[in-house]
Amino acid sequence: MKARVVEPWLLAPVERFVRESGARLTMVMTPSGQVLAQYGFTRAVDVMSAAALGAGIAASTGEIVRMLDEPDFRVLNHQSAQHGIFLGRFDSRRGPLLGLVVYGEDTSIGLVQLFFEDFVADLEEAAPAETPRGPVLAADFERDLNESLATLFR
């Protein structure tokens, strides 16, 4: 299976992370839930659901962290008998991003965390310099969303 990305510079870091960590599902998204890259998802509805839930979890966890006067939300992990879910927030040249990773019994949270740190460094190195963007217009939102989804699921 190959990773699907909105921007080409994301492809190599995502594929390397999946290969090294043993992740079953991986997603890179903005804190608002806009998907930039994904691996392992087979249906668009699953990608959209995971992105919305991941963004919501990150936002609510971030608010709890703020209420506790902690510096910032960085990672969250949930471990069940068969799967683990890792959600990490990191800064990039493109602004804050989230990584959502689902892994199975064939890997561990320690490996996921270790390779996630490498993944963040790879993304930072591969990211092109920030280019100024114009304002997001409501008239362009649906078109931009459809183009992004078409790119992810061609």
User: For the segment 25-62, what is each residue's pLDDT rounded down to a tens digit?
Assistant: 999 999 999 999 999 999 999 999 999 999 999 999 98
* β-bridge partners, 96: 91
Question: Starting at the edge strand that comes first in sequence, how are the strands of the sheet with 35-39 ordered?
Answer: 4-5, 35-39, 23-29, 95-104, 83-92, 75-79
- Break the chain into its structural domains and give their ranges: 4-129+137-152
- Which pLDDT value is given to residue 133? 62
CATH number 3.90.950.10 is the correct assignment for the domain at 4-129+137-152: no
Return the ∠ at Cα 135 (arms to 134 and 140), rounded to 5°.
Answer: 100
- Which pLDDT value is given to residue 152? 67
User: Residue 94, CB half-sphere, CA atoms under 13 Å: how many?
Assistant: 19
Tell me the mean pLDDT in the region 12-33: 95
What element of type H or E holds 5? strand 4-5
- Which pLDDT value is given to residue 150? 73
pLDDT digit string, tens, across residues 63-97: 998 899 887 888 999 999 899 999 999 999 888 99
Rounded Cα gap, residues 97 and 90, in angstroms: 5
- Which pLDDT value is given to residue 49? 95
pLDDT band at 142 (very low <50, low <70, confident <90, very high): confident
pTM score, whole prediction:
0.81
Tell me the mean pLDDT in the region 11-16: 96
